[in-house]
Amino acid sequence: MRRLRDFILLSGLLLVAPWRSRSRRHLRRLRQSLERLPAKAPRVVVHAVSLGEVNAAARLVRELGELELDVVCSSTTLSGQHRSRELHPAVSHVEWPLDISFCCKRWLDHVKPEVLVLVELEVWPTLVAMAKERGISVVVVNGRLSERSLQKSIRWKRVLHDGYANLSKVFAQSDHDGARFVQMGVPRELVTVHPNLKWDRDPFGHEDGESIRLALRLDPTRPLVLFASSAPEEHQLFAKSIPSRCQAVIAPRRPEWFDDALRAFPNARMRTDLHASGDTVVLNTLGELDAVFPLADVVVMGRSFGQRHGSDPMGPASAGKPTLIGPNHGDFLPAVNALKTEGALQVVLADDLPSRLSDLTSCQKTLTRMGEAGERVATAVQGVACMLAKEIARQTQPPRRDRGGAEEKEESVQQGAQPTSAAGGLDGQK
Q: What is the mean pLDDT of each run of 10 residues along the chain (430 residues)?
A: 72 64 59 72 94 92 96 90 93 90 91 95 89 96 92 90 94 94 96 93 72 94 97 98 97 95 96 95 92 96 96 95 97 94 98 98 97 95 93 76 41 43 38
**Same domain (yes/no): 88, 213:** no
Q: What is the pLDDT of residue 408?
A: 45
Q: Which domain holds residue 56?
A: 30-200+383-413
**Same domain (yes/no): 117, 160:** yes
Residue 54 belongs to a domain with what CATH number? 3.40.50.11720
Task: Quote the DSSP letter at residue 131.
Answer: H
Domain contains 172: yes
Any residues with CB less than 8 A from the CB of 130 and at least 6 apart, and which? Answer: 101, 104, 105, 108
**Same domain (yes/no): 149, 46:** yes
Domain contains 430: no
Q: What is the pLDDT of residue 210?
A: 85
Task: Quote the DSSP letter at residue 96.
Answer: P
Q: What is the pLDDT of residue 24?
A: 56
Domain contains 280: yes
Q: How many Å apart are CA 252 and CA 258, to the nearest integer?
A: 6
**Same domain (yes/no): 63, 178:** yes
Domain contains 92: yes
Domain boundary among 380, 405, 424: 380
Domain contains 233: yes
**Same domain (yes/no): 259, 404:** no
Any residues with CB less than 8 A from the CB of 234 and at least 6 apart, and which? Answer: 227, 302, 303, 305, 306, 326
Q: What is the pLDDT of residue 264?
A: 97
Closest CA to 335 of 421, 403, 430, 424: 430
**Same domain (yes/no): 193, 239:** no
Residue 280 belongs to a domain with what CATH number? 3.40.50.2000
- The residue type found at 71 is V
Burial 7-38 (b: 16+ CB within 10 A, else e): eebeeebeeebeeeeeeeebeebeeeeeeebe
What's the domain count of the chain?
A: 2
Task: Quote the DSSP letter at residue 97.
Answer: P
**Same domain (yes/no): 178, 310:** no
Q: What is the pLDDT of residue 406?
A: 44
Q: How many Å apart are CA 12 and CA 9, to the nearest integer?
A: 5
**Same domain (yes/no): 40, 150:** yes
Q: What is the pLDDT of residue 175?
A: 94
Q: How many Å apart are CA 113 and CA 109, to the nearest integer?
A: 9
Domain contains 8: no
**Same domain (yes/no): 183, 280:** no
Domain contains 404: yes
Q: What is the pLDDT of residue 207?
A: 67
Q: Model pTM?
A: 0.82
Closest CA to 318 of 333, 334, 339: 339
Domain contains 429: no
Q: How many Å apart are CA 192 and CA 387, to the nearest integer?
A: 13
**Same domain (yes/no): 144, 93:** yes
**Same domain (yes/no): 251, 355:** yes
**Same domain (yes/no): 254, 153:** no
For the beta carbon of residue 397, count every other beta carbon within 10 angstroms.
13
Instruction: Give the strand order in the sheet containing 268-270.
Output: 268-270, 280-282, 247-252, 224-230, 298-301, 323-325, 345-347
